[in-house]
Structure 1
Amino acid sequence: MVHIRFEGRSYDMQEAQINRNASMNDSAIKQRLAEHFDINLNRFETYIVDRRPSGDLIIRPEAVYG
C-alpha cells in the first residue's frame, strides 16, 4: 500500500499503480508519483518517503513544528 498526502488531499494506491518495487530509492518513488499525477518532479522535492515496518509507504510533506 502506498499512502500519499499531496496538496491537502490523501490518496491510497497499490504499489502496482506506480510500478513500485522494493529496491526503489526515494528519488525513484517520487519520480513515479510525479508521472502518475502528471506533474513536475520538483513538486515532491520536499516530501518525505516514510517506509513502514509493514512494507507500506507514506509519502508526505516534511513536518515543521514550532
Structure 2
Amino acid sequence: MVHIRFEGRSYDIPENQLGIQVGMRDSVVKERIAQYFEVGRDRLTDYVIDRRPSGDLIIRPEAVYG
C-alpha cells in the first residue's frame, strides 16, 4: 500500500495501481505519483518517501520545524 499526503489530503493507493514495484528508486516513485495526480514531477521535489518494514510506502511533504 502507498499512503500519500498531497495538498492537505490523504490517499491510500495499491502499488499496482500506481505501477510501483519493490526496490524502485525514489525518483521513479515520485514520477509515478505525479502521473497519477496529473501534476508536474517538480511538485513532489520536497516530498519524502518513507519505506516501512512492512513494505508500505509513505509519501509526504518534508517536515520543517522551527
Percent sequence identity is 61
Counterpart mapping for 1:1-66 below 5 A: 1-66=1-66
The answer for unaligned runs of 5 or more in structure 2 is none
SS of structure 2 residue aligned to 1:10: strand
Q: Distance in 1 between matches of 2:17 and 2:65?
A: 32
Q: Distance in 2 between matches of 1:22 and 1:53?
A: 12
SS of structure 1 residue aligned to 2:5: strand
Which letter does structure 2 place at the counterpart of 1:58?
A: I
Paired residues, what number?
66
SS of structure 2 residue aligned to 1:33: helix
Which letter does structure 1 place at the counterpart of 2:17?
A: Q
RMSD: 0.5
The answer for unaligned runs of 5 or more in structure 1 is none
Query: So what's the TM-score if we normalise by structure 1?
Result: 0.97
Which letter does structure 1 place at the counterpart of 2:26?
A: D
Q: Distance in 2 between matches of 1:14 and 1:57?
A: 10
Q: Distance in 2 between matches of 1:56 and 1:46?
A: 20
